[in-house]
């Protein structure tokens, strides 16, 4: 059965290339795009969906957890993930790739950074002199202590699914372990609630955050740790005493995508958004209060010059 | 002396406590001391489980499957092909119901394929105007239970439509309309089976506990592999979570029936099936209907979590709104979820209670009046929608569908309410929070973590022994031993600390408030509605304000757990007190009991089985909140379960971690249930 099929496929390929219509048409099966819960991802989902639709493909959106989705991509249930953040999703991304079935479809030109930081007003009011240099942390644990931190300063990290024990390792490696403790917040929303609450109270806070993000507008400053070098993290064999790298923002795709939708995949692999684009997309939702779908349509209409060339 | 000791249980408890304290004091923290922490002997077990499941998911019994999309044959394991067939069917049902209300192409595509549907873009099922669905539901409410229900349904559907939540609400509704009947059916079936066979009952009980407690983050990835991602996966996870209370309540109801009922059925010549459907189930209706209510509530309680594995609807929109801290909009969506739950519950209740009228002889119009009314609404609704295209020539046709977040909004009102609470109470609550954390929670947590493992086992097994003899002691010890031999014992202690504090508060307040409210029909109705509301209102919504007030601390976690875990204690107390037979109350009145005597000697003992189930469910509910706690920020088992999502051996780790949480619940359940059974026997209730 298998042989016959390969035979037929091979024969028809030869036939097709002989007649000069080698380009296979894209399947009409919908391309499945995941929806997560942050603005730029949602708008970009509809932007990319709109690009596919302009090329005649069917598109379907499915809500998904931003870590578990990679397993679905490698099984072919979800076609793409268009915002893979290095620091928080790199682990799931590379695990799925190692198991097979997930392909790296290129990198956006946007530069990202995911790091511990403080709201800028903490620096303006000089709550901890010397910030954003990390060495300042040695002397102002009290500013960042909370009721449950046992007298130590508290780093509020994201959930453990984002980077495992990276932050506790770093605290220990930098020799801050006696003065600082890492607390895992369970969701992005918990981080934002902490930002709002700290501001209200005028209390210092150190949280994990990233840029581009909606918090950029209010002012957020990342702490400058010793520079990242290849292999400096404990998982890579280093001692862990380094900050985060200037991060990438990748695009993932299922192994089926280039085979089932060659034209759409070709466009997808060319897509590359920069920081300005991502900021525009997020602003349509966060500042103009549009729905993600409307925002996607609006961005596509206003930026034809940017995306049209990718579809060719 | 020894005889006295054997009879007085409290003396035994005191001795146990003394031994516990001596052990606690004498063994200090030490890495090497086995009495302090057992060595993690089954550390490799999660990896073994991980490999086994991976084998089952990807390798076992491979068959060749042709994928027309990529024009290749692929090796797929047989099991997942089978599970995919099930999910395909479930998905079709959900899409079918959804498209009746909202329109779409999926139903057509199922029969025609995407190629044809893409080539013929006209072939699209048109959705009904919202006016028709709302009107139809109102008529149904009227037909089932008259004007009151019609009013409730009409107002609820109008709220959902006018506030611009129609589309996500109907998406959520369509998935609940599949998940809930499936849960009711499976639950009824298992309940009857367990009623017939003691052995099945014994096997089912731990499984039901596991199904309710193991956070479904633990098996998120296996579900996604076996069933794919989408509404069907969400529905399956929901069914796993929502079925157990139905089984329990069916069993409870059937067990409570006096044997005379079954005997009279047998005497009238019923066969087995007739006995069940015409005699037993209708007579046990009261408890079975509480089961149906619980299924509906649990289904809607899962809306947010189901959206993480692909369920469309209100869940994902809620998560988005909350991530932007738009609490006002989130509250509006939460109200939609509660309204759907209440409407479905009241309608199913009315339907089940509707008696067939065998004697009337209606005319044609009488017989079909509701259908005729619906016909009128249908035509009017479509006419209005058509007129709407002229009134609103450009953009949104409000008479057909009010798009998401384009309706009226009271978000500003809610938001300012939240802000007001914040401004007014922030500093006093902060002081309270600091006191609670420093003076109560941190010491309790430290005390739990400072327990030598031998002391923990002595205490738990000792209680098991005093309550239920050597058998209970061994069962309790077995469950704990499983946790103790993994490397997560300390994490489990933190989970146990959160659970103990919250169950004590929730159980106590639930029974007290429940008893007070059950004294009067009005307050009874109020408290049951309160239960329905907070069982389904997604805890995330109030968690954001709570986190702003109390920070990312254990206080916030406890508030979340207590709000949710008080519900079963309340509900089962009220239901138990209401189910005390009238004749007993009369007998009490005739013997001249006072108010307090009535409560202590009649009502409390008689409603004991319900209350015991209520406390059992309080423990279960508290443990099922572990994952919500982790989403706020804890360092217990839940946080590790979240972490396992991105871990290489995550499937095995997640599953074993989930089972560890369940083991805590199962150990407590063993003690509570044995004790409850003894009490029941003593009261002659078995």
Domains of chain A (ranges; CATH) run: 24-109+248-311 (3.40.190.10), 113-236 (3.40.190.100)
Residue A230: per-residue pLDDT: 84
Return the closest-CA partner of residue A81 out of A55, A124, A48: A48
Q: Which residue of A has its CA nearest to B323?
A: A189
Least confident of A274-278, B125-129, B286-290, B353-357: B353-357
Return d(Cα B491, Cα B483) in angstroms, integer.
10
Is the pLDDT at B90 greater than 80? The verdict is yes
B267-275 mean pLDDT: 88
CB B139 within 8 A of CB B150: yes
Which residue has better confidence, B402 or B447? B447
Confidence at residue B685, expressed as pLDDT on a 0 to 100 scale: 66
Q: What local confidence, expressed as pLDDT, does residue B451 receive?
A: 92
pLDDT value, residue A24: 59
**Is the Cβ of B114 closer than 8 Å to some Cβ of chain A?**
yes
Residue of B nearest to A99 (CA): B648
What's the burial of B106, exposed, middle or buried (CB within 10 Å: 0-12/13-18/19+)?
A: middle
State whether B383 and B502 are in the same domain. no
Cα radius of gyration (chain A)? 23
Q: Report residue A12's pLDDT band, with 50, 70 and 90 as the boundaries.
A: very low
As a whole-number percent, the residues of chain B with pLDDT over 70 amount to 99
**B408 and B525 fall within a common domain:** no
**Residue A30 DSSP label:** P
> How distant, in Å, are the alpha carbons of A36, A89, A256, B310 from that of B233?
17, 23, 21, 7
* Contact indicator for B480, B453 with CB cutoff of 8 Å: no
In angstroms, the CA B621 to CA B616 distance is 9
How far is A156 from chain B, CA to nearest CA, in Å? 9
How many domains, chain B?
2
Contact (Cβ atoms closer than 8 angstroms) between residue B136 and residue B378: yes
pLDDT in tens, B441-472: 999 999 999 999 999 999 999 999 999 889 99
φ and ψ at residue A226, rounded to 5 degrees? -55, 140
B595, part of any domain: yes
Q: If we measure between CA atoms, which residue out of B169, B669, B642, B62 comes closest to residue B401?
A: B169
Under DSSP, the state recorded for B591 is: T
Work out the pLDDT band at B489, boundaries 50, 70, 90: very high
Query: Do the Cβ atoms of B571 and B614 come closer than 8 Å?
Result: yes
Among the listed residues A76, A24, A40, A94, the one whose alpha carbon sits nearest the alpha carbon of residue A264: A24
Q: Which helix (DSSP H) or strand (DSSP E) does residue B83 occupy? A: helix B78-102
Q: Which residue of B has its CA nearest to A78?
A: B229
CB A243 within 8 A of CB A84: no
CATH number assigned to the domain comprising residue B508: 1.10.3720.10
Cβ pairs A/B, distance under 8 A: 186
Closest of A250, A242, A263 to residue A25, by C-alpha: A263
Cross-strand bridge partners of residue A116: A208
Distance CA B655, CA B643 (A): 12
User: Inter-chain contact B323–A38, Cβ cutoff 8 Å?
Assistant: yes
- Are B611 and B522 in contact by the 8 Å Cβ rule? The answer is no
Phi/psi of residue B258, each to 5°?
A: -70, 150
Single residue among B397, B413, B429 that ends a domain in this structure: B413
Asked whether residue B194 carries a pLDDT value surpassing 90, the answer given is yes
Q: Are residues B669 and B557 in the same domain?
A: yes
Report the residue of B421, B551, B556 to disrupt the A interface, i.e. the one with the largest count of A CBs within 10 Å.
B551
- The reply to whether B612 falls in a domain is yes
At A267, list the tokens. Answer: 């466009």
Q: How many CA atoms lie within 13 A of B51 on its CB side?
A: 4
Residue B104 predicted with pLDDT over 50: yes
Q: Please answer yes or no on whether B437 and A159 come within 8 Å at the CB atom.
A: no
Last residue of a domain, one of B385, B413, B441: B413
User: Rounded to an integer, what distance in angstroms lies between the CA atom of residue B204 and that of residue B190?
Assistant: 8
CA distances from B285 to B181, B248, B278, B349 (A): 16, 13, 11, 10
Pull the structure tokens for residue B181: 């009947």
Name the residue among B221, B324, B553 with its Cβ closest to that of A39.
B324
Residues B404 and B504 in one domain: no
Q: Determine contact, residues B670/B476, Cβ cutoff 8 Å.
A: yes
Confidence of residue A270 (pLDDT cuts 50, 70, 90): very high
Say if residue B45's pLDDT is above 70.
Answer: yes
Best A60, A186, A256, A264 residue to mutate vs chain B (most B CBs within 10 Å):
A186
Q: What end-to-end distance do the CA atoms of chain B give, in Å?
A: 33
> Is residue B137 assigned to a domain?
yes
- Shared domain for B395 and B501, answered yes or no, is no
Q: How far is CA B609 from the centre of its chain?
A: 20
Over residues A257-268, the mean pLDDT reads 93
Cβ of A77 and B228 within 8 Å? yes
Q: How far apart are CA A158 and CA A207, in angstroms?
A: 8
d(CA B191, CA B181): 15
Mean pLDDT on A268-287: 89
- The better pLDDT of the pair B7, B437 is held by B437
Q: Residue A19 above 70 pLDDT? A: no
Cis peptide before A2 (omega within 30 of 0): no
Q: How far apart are CA B96 and CA A104, in angstroms?
A: 36
Q: Round to whole Å and give the CA distance between B194 and B539.
A: 33
Q: What is the pLDDT of residue A81?
A: 95
Q: Give the per-residue pLDDT at B55.
A: 85
Structural domain contains residue B92: no
H or E element at residue A284: helix A275-286
* Residues 6+ away with beta carbon under 8 Å from B445: B494, B497, B554
Record: contact A78-B114, CB cut-off 8 A: no
**Which range is least confidently modeled, B59-73, B100-114, B350-364, B520-534?**
B350-364
- Bigger pLDDT: B85 vs B679: B85
Boundaries of domain holding B669: 490-686
Q: How confident is the model at residue A187 (pLDDT cuts 50, 70, 90)?
A: confident
Interface test with A, best of B75, B310, B328 (most A CBs within 10 A): B310
Pair (B575, B676) in one structural domain: yes
More confident: A253 or A230: A253
Mean pLDDT of B395-417: 80
Cβ proximity of B329 and B276 under 8 Å: no
Does residue B69 surpass a pLDDT of 80? no
Nearest-5° Cα angle at B312, B308 to B315: 60
- CA dist A295 and A42 (Å) reads 9
Residues B398 and B542 occupy one common structural domain: no
pLDDT range class, residue B64, cuts 50, 70, 90? confident
| Element at A33 (helix H, strand E) | strand A31-35
- Are B548 and B683 in a shared domain? yes
Please tell me if residue B438 touches chain A, with a CB cutoff of 8 Å: yes
Average pLDDT over residues B172-196: 93
- Name the pLDDT band for A8 (thresholds 50, 70, 90): very low
Q: Give the pair of three-digit tokens for residue B246.
A: 């139905």
* B 40-69 → A contacts, CB under 8 A: 64, 66-67, 69
Residue of A nearest to B636 (CA): A184
Residue A258 sits at the vertex; the CA angle it makes with A254 and A263, to the nearest 5 degrees, is 130
Do B272 and B216 meet the contact criterion of CB atoms below 8 Å apart?
A: no
Is A186's CB within 8 Å of B630's CB? yes
Nearest to A5 among B73, B426, B430 (CB): B73
Task: Give percent of chain B with pLDDT exceeding 90.
Answer: 36
- Does the pLDDT at position B570 exceed 60? yes
What's the mean pLDDT when you consider all of chain B? 88
* B496 and B387 fall within a common domain: no
Residue B425 is assigned to a structural domain of this protein: no
Model pLDDT, residue A2? 42
pLDDT at A7: 43
In chain A, residues with a C-beta closer than 8 Å to the C-beta of B66 are: 5
In chain A, the largest separation of any two C-alpha atoms, in whole Å, equals 77
- Angle between helix B231-256 and helix B78-102 axes, rounded to 10 deg: 90
Residue range B117-146: mean pLDDT, rounded = 87
CB within 8 Å: B645 and A67: yes
Q: Which of residues 293-332 of B touch A (CB under 8 A)?
A: 307-312, 315-316, 319-320, 322-325
pLDDT of B42 over the 80 cut: yes
Same domain for B659 and B536 = yes
B306, B528 Cβ separation under 8 angstroms: no
Of residues A136 and B356, which shows the higher confidence score?
Answer: A136
CA distance B203 to B680: 21
- pLDDT of amino acid B1: 66
Residue B398 shares a structural domain with residue B507: no
8 Å CB contact between B389 and B397: yes
Distance CA A277, CA A257 (A): 25
For residue B74, what are the β-bridge partners?
B65
The answer to whether residue B516 is domain-embedded is yes
Q: What is the pLDDT of residue B415?
A: 83
Res A21 pLDDT > 70: no
**pLDDT tens string B634-662:** 889 998 998 888 787 888 999 999 999 99
Is A311 part of the contact surface with chain B (CB cutoff 8 Å)? Answer: no
Q: Report if residue B258 sits inside a domain.
A: no
* B556 plus B672 within the same structural domain: yes
- A31 and A261 Cβ atoms separated by less than 8 Å: yes
Q: What is the C-alpha separation between A254 and A31, in angstroms, rounded? A: 10
Q: Is residue B502 part of a domain?
A: yes
Residue A23 has pLDDT above 50, yes or no: no
């Amino acid at each position: 059965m298998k042989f016959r099929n390969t035979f037929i496929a091979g024969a028809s390929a030869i036939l097709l290339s002989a007649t000069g219509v080698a380009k296979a048409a894209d399947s009409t099966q919908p391309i499945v795009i995941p929806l997560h819960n942050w603005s730029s991802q949602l708008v970009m989902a509809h932007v990319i969906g709109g690009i596919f639709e302009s090329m005649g493909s069917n598109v379907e959106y499915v809500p998904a957890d931003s870590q578990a989705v990679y397993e679905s991509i490698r099984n072919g249930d979800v076609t793409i993930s268009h915002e893979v953040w290095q620091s928080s999703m790199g682990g799931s991304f590379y695990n799925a790739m190692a198991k097979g079935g997930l392909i790296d479809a290129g990198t956006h030109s946007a530069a990202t950074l995911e790091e511990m930081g403080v709201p800028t007003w903490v620096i303006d009011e000089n709550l901890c002199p010397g910030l954003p240099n990390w060495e300042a942390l040695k002397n102002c644990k009290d500013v960042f202590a909370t009721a449950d931190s046992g007298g130590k300063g508290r780093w509020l990290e994201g959930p453990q699914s984002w980077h495992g024990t990276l932050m506790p390792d770093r605290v220990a490696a930098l020799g801050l372990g006696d003065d600082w403790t890492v607390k895992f917040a369970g969701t992005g929303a918990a981080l934002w609630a902490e930002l709002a609450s700290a501001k209200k109270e005028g209390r210092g806070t150190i949280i994990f955050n990233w840029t581009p993000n909606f918090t950029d507008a209010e002012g957020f400053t990342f702490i400058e740790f010793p520079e990242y070098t290849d292999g400096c993290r404990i998982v890579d064999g280093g001692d862990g005493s380094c900050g985060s790298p200037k991060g990438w923002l990748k695009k993932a795709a299922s192994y089926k995508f280039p085979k089932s939708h060659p034209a759409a995949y070709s466009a997808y692999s060319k897509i590359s958004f920069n920081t300005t684009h991502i900021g525009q997309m997020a602003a349509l939702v966060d500042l103009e209060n549009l729905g993600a779908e409307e925002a996607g349509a609006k961005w596509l209409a206003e930026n034809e010059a940017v995306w049209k060339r990718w579809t060719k | 002396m020894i005889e006295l000791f054997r009879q007085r249980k409290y003396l035994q408890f005191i001795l146990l406590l003394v031994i516990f304290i001596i052990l606690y004091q004498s063994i200090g923290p030490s890495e090497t001391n086995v009495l302090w922490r057992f060595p993690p002997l089954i550390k490799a077990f999660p990896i073994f489980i991980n490999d086994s499941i991976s084998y089952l998911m990807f390798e076992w019994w491979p068959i060749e499957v042709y994928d027309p999309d990529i024009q290749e044959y692929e090796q797929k394991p047989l099991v997942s092909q089978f599970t995919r067939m099930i999910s395909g069917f479930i998905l079709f049902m959900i899409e079918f119901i959804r498209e009746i209300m909202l329109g779409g192409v999926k139903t057509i595509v199922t029969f025609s394929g995407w190629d044809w549907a893409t080539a013929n873009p006209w072939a699209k099922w048109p959705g009904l105007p919202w006016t028709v669905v709302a009107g139809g539901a109102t008529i149904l409410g009227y037909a089932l239970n008259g004007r009151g229900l019609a009013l409730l349904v009409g107002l609820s559907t109008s709220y959902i439509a006018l506030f611009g939540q129609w589309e996500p609400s109907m998406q959520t509704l369509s998935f609940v309309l599949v998940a809930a009947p499936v849960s009711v059916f499976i639950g009824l079936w298992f309940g009857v089976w367990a009623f017939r066979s003691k052995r099945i009952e014994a096997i089912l009980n731990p499984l039901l506990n596991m199904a309710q407690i193991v956070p479904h983050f633990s098996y998120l990835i296996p579900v996604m592999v076996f069933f794919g991602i989408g509404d069907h996966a969400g529905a399956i996870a929901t069914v796993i979570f929502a079925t157990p209370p139905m089984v329990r309540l069916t069993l409870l109801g059937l067990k409570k029936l006096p044997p005379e009922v079954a005997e009279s059925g047998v005497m009238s010549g019923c066969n087995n099936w007739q006995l069940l459907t015409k005699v037993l189930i209708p007579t046990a209706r009261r408890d079975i209907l509480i089961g149906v209510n619980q299924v509906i509530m649990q289904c809607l309680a899962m809306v947010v979590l189901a959206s993480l594995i692909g369920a469309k609807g209100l869940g994902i929109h809620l998560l988005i709104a909350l991530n932007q801290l738009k609490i006002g909009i989130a509250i509006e969506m939460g109200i939609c979820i509660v309204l759907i739950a209440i409407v479905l519950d009241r309608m199913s209740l009315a339907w089940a209670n509707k008696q067939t009228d065998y004697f009337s002889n209606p005319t044609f119009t009488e017989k079909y009046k509701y259908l005729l009314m619906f016909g009128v609404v249908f035509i009017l609704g479509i006419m209005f929608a058509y007129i709407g295209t002229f009134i609103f020539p450009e953009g949104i046709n409000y008479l057909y569908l009010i798009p998401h977040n384009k309706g009226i909004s009271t978000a500003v009102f809610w938001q300012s309410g939240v802000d007001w609470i914040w401004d007014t109470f922030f500093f006093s609550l902060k002081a309270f929070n600091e006191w609670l954390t420093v003076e109560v929670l941190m010491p309790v947590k430290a005390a739990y973590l400072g327990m030598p493992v031998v002391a923990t086992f002595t205490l738990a097994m000792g209680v098991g022994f005093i309550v239920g003899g050597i058998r209970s002691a061994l069962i309790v010890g077995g469950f704990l031993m499983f946790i103790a031999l993994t490397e997560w014992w300390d994490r489990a202690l933190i989970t146990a600390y959160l659970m103990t504090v919250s169950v004590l508060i929730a159980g106590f307040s639930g029974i007290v408030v429940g008893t007070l409210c059950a004294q009067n029909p009005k307050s009874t109705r109020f408290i049951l509605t309160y239960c329905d509301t907070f069982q389904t209102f997604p805890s995330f919504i109030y968690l954001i304000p709570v986190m702003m007030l109390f920070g990312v601390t254990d206080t916030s976690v406890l508030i979340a757990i207590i709000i949710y875990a008080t519900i079963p204690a309340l509900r089962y107390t009220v239901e138990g007190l209401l189910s005390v037979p009238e004749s007993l109350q009369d007998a009490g009145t005739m013997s001249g009991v006072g108010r307090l005597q009535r409560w202590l000697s009649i009502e409390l003992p008689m409603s004991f089985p319900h209350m015991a189930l209520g406390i059992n469910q309080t423990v279960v509910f508290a443990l099922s909140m572990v994952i919500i706690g982790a989403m706020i920020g804890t360092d217990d088992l839940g946080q590790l379960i979240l972490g396992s999502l991105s871990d290489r051996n995550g499937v095995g780790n997640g599953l074993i971690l989930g089972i560890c949480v369940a083991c805590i619940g199962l150990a407590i359940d063993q003690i509570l249930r044995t004790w409850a059974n003894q009490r029941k026997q003593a009261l002659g209730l078995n």
